[in-house]
Structure 1
């Protein structure tokens, strides 16, 4: 990571605009899946639509510190609950966040100049049909006067696993990463396997995907192109799985398995997820931060 970062006003604007563009693409694709689901389980329901609401973040002194757009669909034919949020926040990091940033990212200057800026997209989809896998995706850019980096990825979370679905999801991820460096996919897959692990359960929360953080090669344009391709991989990796499984018959036993698996997802996000902790600690809208939680879950 570079020792000193300029203001990077243009780069910040480009990154924030891309996250919004990706959000628009995903929202359109998901509403299209709702409209096209005309046969099979839950087809009798009204097609879901995203509800939009502005989110805000306020500094400790009450001043504006950015915000975002929360897009949530509830009770659809295909998506029981899905959120696609974008944000652009800024200000100064609190003492705890400063200490964590200095320790984890090697930025000792944070205490002297704790300014930050961050923008990103965060998506979590909990599906109506238990045979359709839940999914998570996020990408982000983070800036401080002491350095900048990108992070994010996506992972698949089926309650009923299909080996061919897992293979498809990973194949698409790898194809998009191989455009940049063939060494990326195995490294980012292993990173996801490690990151999306639930220690107190001794198991992964799903079947993996890709993940990276603190990514700064020194070439902002190249790194931005990589994070864009991680985002571009999402729809072709996930949508075919939805189209394949949404019409599959399901019963009460399948739904029970789904609710139990959602409990694992909730445990991970509330106990371990860095994004959840950062969002709550820095004063972002709690509803937006906790958008990832499922509408219903079950514990045995």
Structure 2
């Protein structure tokens, strides 16, 4: 099989397509013939060496996959089943490859309502949004929810999930993304290029932060008493947690993990027509460097996907 490897840290030019032995699944695992691979900003940072989650090269990036079961060492799936998921995260899944071995519990059946490209785009962003809003945030009907970065991968999915649970959704987004986030269901849009969200909203029940920086601390003043901020960026900041607690608010960090229950929840929303993941652009496997150049530029609407 072919894999996209890198033997040094750096820009998109470090990728090399090489031949490697196809992995054999262990008991409780499956080997998936990959059809599409979702790309995430995290992978660009790992490629460049911004933090050593995978150690030193050589390594193969990637977690989000959709494909067809090729071999099964489990009763959960059979060869020919179409599946998708985010196996092993944050441990290496080596998903930039034509075949990936994964625990069966980290995958679910792909619904007919999702193409392989759409399914590959969903896991990391969908699970982050679900675990942040539903599992930690306990979003419920009538909540006033602020989602920072509504035009991004996590943000545009989070808007739809919050709306599906009956929330009133406010989001920050650049002016060029207003129509996009409104199309996702946002009730109010704050153009962060011209408006300070900290002055524009009050009495928020739940904030989902995907941006980090000073956004978290500045969100403290917009929460109602007992309000809750969930961040996907500053999850280990104990000082911030203490500051929120002292002010009578709640602070939670989310480090996304594989979760078949949440994946099935996302599938249910997809089948109901209440959730769609937006794919900005697809690239063939061989053009991974071009895809990462676009990923490096940021400000994407939704996701980028490699097709295999």
TM over 0.5: no
TM-score by length of 1: 0.29
TM-score by length of 2: 0.29
Bigger fraction of residues in helix: 1
